[in-house]
Structures are given as C-alpha cells and as structure tokens.
Structure 1
Amino acid sequence: MDIKVDVIAAAKTIVENYLERSMIPDPKGAAAYVSDDFHLVFTGGRNFSGPVESTAFNAKRYAWVKKRFLRTDAALDAETGDVHVYNTGYLFGEWKDGTSFETNRYMDKFVVRDGKIVSTNVWNDSAEILLHKAGLAEAEL
C-alpha cells in the first residue's frame, strides 16, 4: 500500500469529519481536528482562531446552515508533507429572516499537517446573496 495515498485519504477523512462536526454545530467537537495554532479565514477576509468563533459568526448570518458535499480532493506537498484538501458543494439552510436557500456555492481549502488541520480558507456566495436580497447587488444573480 502506498503511504502517500494513506496520508491523503486520512487528510480527506479529517476534513470531512471536521466539517460534519461543524455543521451540527459542535464547535468543541470540530476543535478536536485542528492544531493549536489553527487559523481560519472566512469569505471577506474575516480571521478566526477556531471553530467556536466561526460558529458564532454563522449564528449571526443564518438561522441554520449545512453543507452538501459535492467532492473532496487532496494533494500531498512532497516538500513539506502537508496535505492540501479542497471541499466544495452547496450550502443549504435558512437565513435569519426565515427564507430558505439551497444553491449557495462554497469552496473550502484546508492544510492538514501531522493529522491536524492547521489552516482553512472559506469562500461562498452568501455575501452576494445577501446583497441581492437587500437590493444592493451590482448585477443579477
């Protein structure tokens, strides 16, 4: 069995388990998958140091939100041993005003090192959708 494949498969599992815990939401459970020096950058450049902060941010924006995974891809950086994991799909849930949504695209990039997530970057359509709902969008969605 190829050790590189095992490291990549393990990193993908770590990321998907982290995301599953995050969606409950269970930020303390999600924190078990991140390193002590974890750094999270949300859409718009918002910086967080852990799942507790990002869960609190999401609670201000959504009544509830979940992710429908389309795919999880990963690649090993042979120089550093880091595994770069990409998870993409759709957010679905309910805005604070009670309106439901299901086609909000997202893409998350993770770096997994020594079995822990050390960083995450999150992109999604939420800000554009909220601008559209407020009549402030620069173009139709």
Structure 2
Amino acid sequence: MTDDIIAEAKRVVAAYLERSMAKDADGARGYMAPGCEIVFTGGRRMDGPEDPPAFNAKRYASVQKRPLRTDAVWNDEAGAVHVWTIGHLYGSWPDGAAFDGNRYVDFFAVQDGLIVRTEVWNDSAEILLARAGLAEAPL
C-alpha cells in the first residue's frame, strides 16, 4: 500500500509542477490542500500558487525546470509522503542573457493526495550576486 501512496504523491507533484511552470495557478491549486504552506527561496512565505510565478517574473525574463531526479519516502511522524525534485533551472535573466544549470531542490509534503507544504531552493541569488560583481560565481 505504501508504494501506491508514494507513486500517487510523485504523480501529484509532477502534475503540480507542470501546471505551475505553465503559470496555471488554478490548475496548480487543484493539487494543493487548503492552507498549503509555500516557502520560497530566502524563506519567503507565499499565499497561493500564483505567487511563485509573480515572484519569478521579477527575477527572470523566462524560467523553466529541468527535473533530473525525484525521490519520495513515507514519513510516519508527519503522516505524509515527502517528495524531493532535484534538477536545473534554465531560461533568461531580465537582461535577456541565457542561463542553464542553475541547481534547484523542491520539497513537497503530500497528505491524502494533496500537497500540504512546499519549499523551494535554488542558486539564483548566488548567480545574481556574481553577475553584479558582488560574489564569486558558483561552481
């Protein structure tokens, strides 16, 4: 039974990410539990699936995810499946310069077939600092 629950959680996350990257907030919302916690890069708390694309519009001219791996495990304590997607962001910065290979990790907690929490991390802040001459470029 746990294998089926894990497979379903991975399917929910993949569908949510597809809708999210298509900027379809209503479609993405269908995979989220009411009151779903969204914590974005820098610890920014967001209210709904329309907020991450709005934030990204200020940071990128365009951005997409290239998932490389998805891992999932049942967490007894949380009563949820914990899902991680790992990959690279690609697209262009506001000045039109293309980028690729920007690492990301997305975490999801899926309970009863719906996402109850998501957290996002990526290298964008480090890359933007390096582009501004304020830090060394990431490896």
Report the TM-score when normalising by structure 1.
0.94
Is 2:96 aligned against 1:98? yes
Aligned to 2:125: 127
Question: What pairs with 1:44-63 in structure 2 (closer than 5 Å)?
Answer: 44-63=42-61
| Structure 1 residue ranges, 4+ long, deviating more than 3 angstroms after superposition | none
Aligned Cα root-mean-square deviation (Å)? 1.0
Aligned to 2:113: 115
Q: Deviations over 1:35-68 (max 9, x none)?
A: 1111111111110021111111011111111100
Identical residues among aligned pairs (%): 56
Report the TM-score when normalising by structure 2.
0.95
Aligned-partner Cα distance in 2 for 1:28–1:59: 18
1:45 is matched by which residue type in structure 2?
Answer: G
Structure 2, unaligned stretches of length 5 or more?
Answer: none
Q: Secondary structure at the match of 2:50?
A: helix
Aligned to 1:140: 137
Matched pairs, number: 138
Aligned-partner Cα distance in 2 for 1:76–1:93: 33
Q: Deviations over 1:13-55 (max 9, x none)?
A: 1001101111112122111111111111111111002111111
> Aligned pair in 2 of structure 1 residues 116, 67: CA closer, same or farther (>3 Å)?
same
Aligned-partner Cα distance in 1 for 2:137–2:34: 42
